[in-house]
Amino acid sequence: MVLLTMTRIVVAAVKGCQDVAPGELEKLQLGSEPSLAAPEVGNPISHGQLIDISKLLKARSNLQEDELEDQDMPYRLNDLLQGSRIYIPPPAPKPAQSSEYKALMARLHAEEEARAYERMLNPPPVPEAFTQRFPASPHAHLFNTPSDIAKQEADEVTYADVNRQVALIINVLVSIIACSVAIWIAARHWSTPQRLGLSMTGSGIVAMAEVAIYVGYLGRVKESKQLEKAKVEVQEVVESWVIEADSTKNTRLPRLISEKDENVDSVRFRKGKHR
């Protein structure tokens, strides 16, 4: 069922039906449809009620369609629908708040006001920013940390490897080109296909030789690194120095410990072993 809003024309038509045939209008009223007892602009009315009202007024008037146009009150269905819109019922009223709900809200408001007053009297400490907690942090990049040193060393090693590889590629290309050009010039009395094939073969042999030499070089380097890692580092004390007090000055001077030193035990006594 589609509900529409009453316009002034619909209100006049309903009132006209009440004047002409009130009994038949009550028969048209169904329980599931809106009431037409007090028509007002904006009240709901169903589309079926508009159709029944239009038919009832046409039947009671006993007028032809061309004569209805001369009447002040149009009773056609198109005229009744003009200006009408879909009826949207107003929102349902909110349920009344219970006394328990009001008491709960009052208690919550009082607690919130007490907390706000406490925060006003004892404000929380202002959180420190990172720059306030560590004032020297903007200058931290001026000092090299162990990680920065390791990164720099790794960058230097990588840069050296890249340079070595680029130089190796350039050397290989120069060797191949020089070999092919030399063979081409040396075989100038041969035909062009033979010279081309010979120079291509020679350059290919040189390229394979360069690759084989480089692979052997890498193998030797890897082997030397493994041997270097396998070596055990032995540390030996070469000289030892002991600080003794000077008789003339209240200072301590370094002295070399020799094997024939007779005062070694006195040094040991100073460590507390004689107690």
Strands, DSSP E only, in the chain? 3-5, 44-46, 241-245, 252-256
Query: Which one of 38-52, 57-71, 183-197 scores highest in mean pLDDT?
Result: 183-197
Q: Which two tokens stand for residue 107?
A: 């208690």
Q: CA of 274: how far to CAs of 41, 245, 268, in Å? A: 118, 20, 8
Q: Is residue 97 part of a domain?
A: no
Kindly report the average pLDDT of the chain as a whole number. Answer: 76
In this prediction, residue 2 carries a pLDDT of 78
Of the ranges 160-174, 228-242, 251-265, the best mean pLDDT one? 160-174
118, part of any domain: no
| Domains: count for the chain | 2
157 confidence band (pLDDT: 50, 70, 90): low
Q: In angstroms, rounded to a whole number, what is the distance separating the alpha carbons of residues 4 and 249?
A: 117
Residue 103: inside a domain: no
Amino acid at 204: G
Residue 93 lies in a domain: no
Residue 124 lies inside a defined structural domain of this protein: no
pLDDT, position 41: 84
Residue 19 lies in a domain: yes
Q: Is residue 46 part of a domain?
A: yes
How far apart are the C-alpha atoms of 40 and 5, rounded to whole Å? 9
Q: Three-state DSSP class for 202?
A: helix
pLDDT of residue 259: 52
Domain that holds residue 36: 3-81
User: Residue 13 — φ and ψ, nearest 5°?
Assistant: -65, -40
Within-domain flag for 28: yes
- Write the DSSP assignment of 87-118 as a string of letters: --PPPPPPPPPPHHHHHHHHHHHHHHHHHHHH
- Residue 69: predicted pLDDT: 46
Final residue of a structural domain among 81, 96, 118:
81
Q: Are 47 and 4 in contact (CB under 8 A)?
A: yes
